[in-house]
Amino acid sequence: MRQQNDAPTSITLPEETINRFPLFKHFLFTSFTVNRTTKSHLGFTMGLRDWFATFLSTIQIKNSETISTRYHTITKRLNIDFWGNDSDTYHSLYVGSYGRHTAVNGDSDVDMIFQLPYSWYVTYSNYTSNGQSSLLQSVRASLLKTYPNSALGADGQVIKISFADGLVFEVVPAFENTDYSFTHPDSNNGGSWKTTNPRPEIQAIRDRNSDANSNLIPLCRMMRAWKAEWNVPMGGLLIDTLAYQFMATWPQRDKSIFYYDWMSRDFFRFLADQDTDKRWWRAPGSAQWVYWRGNFQTKGEKCYRLALAAIEHETADPKREHAAKSKWRDIYGTNFPS
């Protein structure tokens, strides 16, 4: 056990700290040593981690238990009426941002697919006029048994259940195809059948997140906070698609949360550099079309410059912590710690 009068202890700094702060190379090459008191003064190297960890904790979903309860209740109701059993797990699947684990607190919509027996597809396909609308109404009638006091709408492609607490479930009744994609009704323009394939998207995000040291999903969540703060015209799937593409080649993808300031800066540059004439992208896994909703590049450019300023404050000597945090709050809003 070390005694109080022991000689100062040499320290080996993490490689990522050395790379981020070149000044540390001077410390190493001059055999810089510190005792425990001096080492505590290097605590600012941990500050950046704390900022982004707190931010991510703040924006993570807080009502997951309520979401899970309602998901299972909806599943049970539909299984009773369409499959003749009371399972609260069979035939349902989280999709959308919640299914890809990229949703954040405040995302009011939870998307789910419920698989119906193929015989119902045959029945409603034989309708002479908009069998798709009739199918949606049948599913709505089933859910009204469980939620008679909630606002339920059946229009377009989903049954929307709006709860009093602001949470909205969008239930897509669908039929599983042999390739594990789903056929679902669209009641618009006289009715038709559409195809969606969420499982490969979910798996692709999961795989790349794993390959990138679990950095992809936090990036997707952070960008949702940015979208909300800056009113960026991007859907969740487009955010995830571009983040997925970015993470494939980002040089620091194997690093830790200590690099999330650089990750933010570099992703904003990636967004700003997207072709302003481009109107669609291909979703990861499924390759389905993901469409442009408006110019996001300009706001990406502005936030790239804010990120540069934040990093300049972080690396100043002495460090300008308040100014750095202020810039990150300009980007991400008040969920970022002050």
H helix runs in the chain, sequence order:
15-20, 23-29, 36-40, 44-59, 64-82, 96-100, 118-125, 131-146, 198-211, 216-230, 236-249, 260-272, 297-314, 321-332
Structural domain spans, the chain:
64-196, 200-332
Q: Is residue 41 pLDDT above 50, yes or no?
A: no
> Which pLDDT score, from 0 to 100, does residue 21 have?
47
Q: Is residue 37 pLDDT above 60, yes or no?
A: no
Backbone angles phi, psi at 309, to 5 degrees: -65, -40
Backbone angles phi, psi at 185, to 5 degrees: -80, 150
> Which pLDDT score, from 0 to 100, does residue 184 have?
98
Q: d(Cα 161, Cα 154) in Å, to the nearest integer? A: 9
Q: Is residue 257 pLDDT above 90, yes or no?
A: yes
pLDDT band of residue 25 (cuts 50, 70, 90) is very low
The two structure tokens encoding residue 232: 């960026």
> Which pLDDT score, from 0 to 100, does residue 3 have?
40
> Which pLDDT score, from 0 to 100, does residue 13 have?
44
Question: Considering the entire predicted model, what is its pTM?
Answer: 0.86
Q: At what angle do helices 198-211 and 216-230 cross, to 10 degrees?
A: 110
Q: pLDDT tens digits for 69-123? A: 999 999 999 999 999 999 999 999 999 999 999 999 988 799 999 999 999 999 9
Mean pLDDT along residues 292-301: 98
Q: pLDDT tens digits for 199-211? A: 999 999 999 999 9
CB 114 within 8 A of CB 173: yes
Instruction: Name the DSSP letter for residue 7.
Output: P
Encode 104-130: b = buried (16+ Cβ within 10 Å), e = exposed: bbebebbbbbbbbeeebbeebeeeeeb
Pick the CATH number of 64-196 from 3.30.460.90, 3.90.550.10, 3.40.50.1100, 3.40.50.1980: 3.30.460.90
